[in-house]
């Protein structure tokens, strides 16, 4: 069974204990660490591959949302908070779910199942056979839709969904953009914004603020700007 490595970022011992107990009851979750602050969580993320973060908002040193914004390629995140007023801001950062304390186990299970349901049905790695076109199957409703990588123009995050755009079609599938980025990391794709991944060879023009693909202007995020422009200007 596929297991997801998790960390809990929570400074309240009782809340951390409850989440730990819930995690142990879910077969596809594996707890790697409980972090009392975001600084410790950053250290864990630098050392290990983490698939899911349970994140409190009111943390010492660095607040939860500030920590999340600081991560270049964050893994999927489920926020666990006593404050519902931060929910909209959390979803704007593409979190999987927003759980209000005290968290019931049934609600916890519903949240983690969103992660479990986001994986593609099947994938083919890039080096199956020389010259063979690489593709993925993505879930669209009750169907599994084949998408060839060389047809993708760009991918846009829409909260817990992504829109994959080609010249012929757009498909909407339940997936996190960070997961898509991992799948495409060895191919012709570049994350240029919190909400956009683009195919580099489909870029027809660019400025310091956006790229143009198929007559559509796609913004370059401020935190991505330096790296993106450097790569584009040297053609890599």
Total domains in the fold of the chain: 2
Judged against a pLDDT cut of 50, whether residue 122 lies above it is answered with: no
Domain enclosing residue 46, as ranges? 4-116
Which of 116, 149, 167 terminates a domain? The answer is 116
Does residue 81 sit within a domain? yes
The verdict on 161 and 220 lying in the same domain is: yes
Q: How confident is the model at residue 187 (pLDDT cuts 50, 70, 90)?
A: low
For residues 209 and 181, membership in a common domain is answered with: yes
Are the beta carbons of 41 and 7 closer than 8 angstroms? Answer: yes
The pLDDT value recorded for residue 1 is 52
What pLDDT score does 123 carry?
39
pLDDT band, very low/low/confident/very high, at 89 (cuts 50, 70, 90): confident
3-state secondary structure of 86: helix
Q: Is 175 a domain residue? A: yes
Mean pLDDT of 48-77: 90
107 and 176 within one domain: no
Q: How far apart are CA 188 and CA 209, in angstroms?
A: 21
CATH number, residue 221: 2.40.50.1020
**Is residue 133 within 8 Å of residue 150, measured between CB atoms?**
yes
- pTM equals 0.53
- For residue range 52-63, list pLDDT tens digits in order: 999 999 998 899
Q: What is the CATH number for 85?
A: 3.40.50.2300
Which runs of consecutive H residues, i.e. helices, occur in the chain? 13-24, 38-47, 64-70, 87-92, 105-116, 177-183, 225-233
What pLDDT band is residue 79 in, cutting at 50, 70 and 90? Answer: very high
pLDDT tens-digit readout, 157-183: 987 789 999 998 999 988 778 777 777
């Amino acid at each position: 069974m596929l297991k997801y490595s998790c960390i809990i970022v929570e400074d309240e011992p009782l809340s951390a204990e409850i989440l730990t107990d819930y995690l142990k009851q879910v077969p596809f979750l594996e707890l790697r660490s409980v972090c009392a602050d975001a600084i410790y969580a950053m250290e864990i993320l630098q050392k290990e591959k983490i698939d899911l973060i349970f994140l409190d908002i009111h943390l010492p040193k660095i607040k939860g949302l500030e920590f999340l914004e600081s991560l270049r390629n964050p893994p999927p995140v489920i926020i666990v908070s006593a404050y519902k007023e931060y929910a909209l801001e959390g979803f704007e950062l593409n979190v999987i779910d927003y759980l209000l304390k005290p968290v019931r186990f049934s609600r916890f299970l519903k949240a983690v199942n969103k992660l479990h349901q986001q994986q593609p049905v099947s994938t083919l790695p890039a080096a199956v056979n020389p010259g063979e076109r690489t593709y993925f199957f993505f879930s669209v409703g009750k169907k599994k839709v084949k998408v060839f990588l060389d047809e993708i123009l760009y991918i846009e995050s829409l909260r817990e969904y992504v829109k994959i755009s080609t010249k012929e079609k757009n498909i909407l599938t339940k997936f996190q953009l960070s997961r898509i980025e991992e799948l495409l990391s060895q191919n012709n794709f570049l994350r240029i914004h919190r909400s956009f991944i683009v195919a580099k060879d489909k870029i027809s023009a660019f400025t310091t603020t956006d790229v143009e693909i198929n007559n559509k202007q796609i913004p370059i995020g401020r935190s991505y700007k330096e790296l993106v422009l450097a790569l584009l200007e040297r053609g890599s």
